[in-house]
Structure formats: C-alpha cells, structure tokens
Amino acid sequence: MNTEHKGLNLFVYGLLMKKSKVRDITKKNFKTHKVTLEGYRKYKPKELWYPFLLKEREKKVKGLLIMDIDKRSLRKIDRYEREGIWYDRKKVIICHKKKKFVAFVYVGKRNFFKKYL
C-alpha cells in the first residue's frame, strides 16, 4: 500500500466537497483529488439538506479525497459532522491513479437514518 502522504486523508461526498466549507470549519486549505469510494451507497433524502452513506456492496460513491489533514482539523470536522451522533468516522481504502490510500469517511449511523431509507 502506498502511503506517500504525511497526514490523514478524508473522503467527502456532500457539503464538504466545497473547499470553502472545509476552510470555514478548519481555517485551512487542503489538496484534494476526485475519487470514487467502492462498497458504499449515497442517500440524499428530500427531507434532509445533507446526504449520508451506508455500506452497501456493489455500489460506488463519487467524491473528493482531502489529503494530509492534521488531527486538530479532523477533530473540528468531526464536531461539524456530529461524529458519534449522526455519523461514525470509518477507515477505508481508496484507489487513485493506481495507488491505494487509507482514508476516513463519515458513514451514517443506521439507527439515526433508518427512517429515511
């Protein structure tokens, strides 16, 4: 596995794909790459203004891989995403340009989002 980066990586698929939103939360800019996460499905119920992911075989989600996030910035994003309440931050493997990257992703808590399925 190629780990040519110095910080943590985060796969995002909703509002955090806007660099301005990440900058508002962290007060920093990060390098990003367009990528696809396999094994998850994105849900965007009309009752909600934000999407969520659930693990689902054979599905793919397009998003951005935010590179080299420091721990303090990740904690700020955790608070924004209500990590542990609405979402769980999980580790995943993402392939990009024939390289594999370990990244975090916010996955919806099934008990919280089940009414929207």
Residues 6+ positions from 90 with CB-CB distance below 8 Å: 104, 105, 106, 107
Tokens of 38: 């396999």
Domain boundaries, the chain: 8-116
Rounded CA separation 104/28 (Å): 18
3-state helix, strand, coil in the chain (%, to 5): 25, 50, 25
**Residues of the chain scoring pLDDT < 70:** 1-6
- The residue among 74, 106, 72, 73 whose CA lies nearest residue 89 is 106
For residue 68, the 8-state DSSP code is E
CATH fold, domain 8-116, is Hypothetical upf0131 protein ytfp (3.10.490)
Question: What pLDDT, on a 0 to 100 scale, did the predictor assign at position 5?
Answer: 52
For the chain, the first-to-last Cα distance in angstroms comes to 35
pLDDT tens sequence across 6-39: 679 999 999 999 999 999 999 999 999 999 999 9
Provide the whole-model pTM: 0.90
SS3 110: helix
